[in-house]
Amino acid sequence: MILSSLNLKNFRSHKDTNLKFSDKLNFIIGGNGQGKTTVLESIYYLCTTKSNCSKSDLEVVSFNETGFELNGIFNDLTESKIRIYYSALENKKYYYRDSKLISRSADIIGKFPIVILTPSDHSITQGAPSERRKFIDSIISQASENYLRTIIDYGRTLRQRSSLLFQIKDNRNKNIFSELDAWTEKLVESGLIIINYRKNFAADFIKFIVASYKIIMGETEVPTLRYSFLENYGGSDFKVEFFRLLDLKRNEELRRSTNLVGPHRDEILFEINNMSLKTYGSQGQHKTFQVVLRFAEFFYLKEVMGVVPLFLLDDIFGELDTKRSLKISEYLRELGQTFITMTDLTNLSFMKKNDNDKYITLNSGAVAYG
């Protein structure tokens, strides 16, 4: 999958910007506030219908405008034209693929696989467990529509069940326990599907982490990924354990009106030489690990889906030393189409030039190539 051209209209600082891309590395260069990251955001929009950083479409619209529009042309075996139009007046977004309106976002997710590395990735290794669950969920969802639906179904089950727990606590209904049992069974049914998917994913994904880590860091350290579910359960009968924990926590669940057992409380632990990254990792180790995770995601999706994802890298060389930057820049050659933002090219003095690369400079709305 190759994005050959892109037009942004009233999209943040871009009034009307036309861009042409190389099918290899694209360096997007410009000073602060010239809209480099915004270009990446718009590519993310085209591939997923959503922004990677802001929750509302309205935020993305340029000041004093009533909507934004994005047009992108993808080339695979054939050409696909993607058009997104958002109207702030209707607060509605229209997604067209080859002039056909697509109404369900589930019909898009996973069709244009994409991997994005941004400075906000620090939360994956340094933030709360929910950030790590979100990270692996987004990868598995791209590869499996069934997983995506189960996640949605499970989320709904959680909301229904906690509402019921609240009703029981509120004493509004005392004959509700058999109803709670039914929702508990539903929770376990969907929860087990999620656990199994995540377990298989973790076992697969670690191979990709180890491979990328070796290339970027050399062989001195060994990274691991540990998937911890159902209170760190180590046995083989997940269903029995799931019900046992629910039984054990029943009173606490009722007291707090909260779901206390299930994959929404899973943890994914990253380690280097068996030491917890979150507890003992240095800033540099964190940053490197975040880069490794995104490279691993890229190669994982490429293998599982059989399509080469687009790779977006936002300000990647900022915090890394020259040695690691060099390794990563060599590694970039093994990717497919890649978009890299940076403030100036001096950061790249160590990089070997290649005729297929494109250097795109953004300056106050003007675009220059070369």
Partner 1 sequence: MQIAEPLLRAIEELSKLPGIGRKTAQRLALHVLKSKDEDVSKLVNSLLELKTKLHYCSKCFNLAEGDLCEICMNTKRDQKLICIVEEASDVIAIEKTNEYNGIYHVIGGTLSPLSGIGPEDLKIKELLKRFENETIEEVILALNADTEGEATSLYLARLVKPLVTRVTRIARGLPIGGDLEFADEATIGRAMLSRNLL
Q: Which is nearer to partner 1, 9 or 186 (CB)?
A: 186
Helix (H, G, I), strand (E, B) or coil at 235: coil
By CB under 8 A, is residue 161 in contact with partner 1? yes
Binding residue for partner 1, selected from 81, 149, 265, 333, defined by CB under 8 A: 149
Taking the C-alpha atoms of residue 280 and residue 33, their distance in angstroms, rounded to an integer, is: 35
Q: Which is nearer to partner 1, 177 or 350 (CB)?
A: 177
By CB under 8 A, is residue 257 in contact with partner 1? no
- The 8-class DSSP code of residue 61 comes to B
| Angstrom distances, CA of residue 90 to CA of 27, 57, 68, 85 | 36, 12, 12, 11
**Among the candidate windows 55-63, 74-82, 184-192, 248-256, which touches partner 1 by CB under 8 A?**
184-192
Q: Which is nearer to partner 1, 183 or 311 (CB)?
A: 183
By CB under 8 A, is residue 146 in contact with partner 1? yes
| Angstrom distances, CA of residue 219 to CA of 77, 212, 214, 335 | 39, 11, 5, 21
Helix (H, G, I), strand (E, B) or coil at 353: coil
Q: How far is the CB of 304 from partner 1 (least distance, A)?
A: 13
By CB under 8 A, is residue 186 in contact with partner 1? yes
Range 187-216, binding partner 1 (CB under 8 A): 189
By CB under 8 A, is residue 76 in contact with partner 1? no
By CB under 8 A, is residue 176 in contact with partner 1? yes
**Among the candidate windows 37-45, 51-59, 182-190, 343-351, which touches partner 1 by CB under 8 A?**
182-190
CB atoms within 10 A of CB 280: 11
By CB under 8 A, is residue 92 in contact with partner 1? no
Q: How far is the CB of 298 from partner 1 (least distance, A)?
A: 22
By CB under 8 A, is residue 185 in contact with partner 1? yes
By CB under 8 A, is residue 183 in contact with partner 1? yes
Whether the Cβ atoms of residue 32 and residue 52 lie closer than 8 Å to each other:
no
Residue 261 φ/ψ, nearest 5 degrees? -130, 135
Taking the C-alpha atoms of residue 51 and residue 238, their distance in angstroms, rounded to an integer, is: 36
By CB under 8 A, is residue 157 in contact with partner 1? yes
By CB under 8 A, is residue 173 in contact with partner 1? yes
Taking the C-alpha atoms of residue 188 and residue 329, their distance in angstroms, rounded to an integer, is: 45
Structure tokens at 191: 């929860």
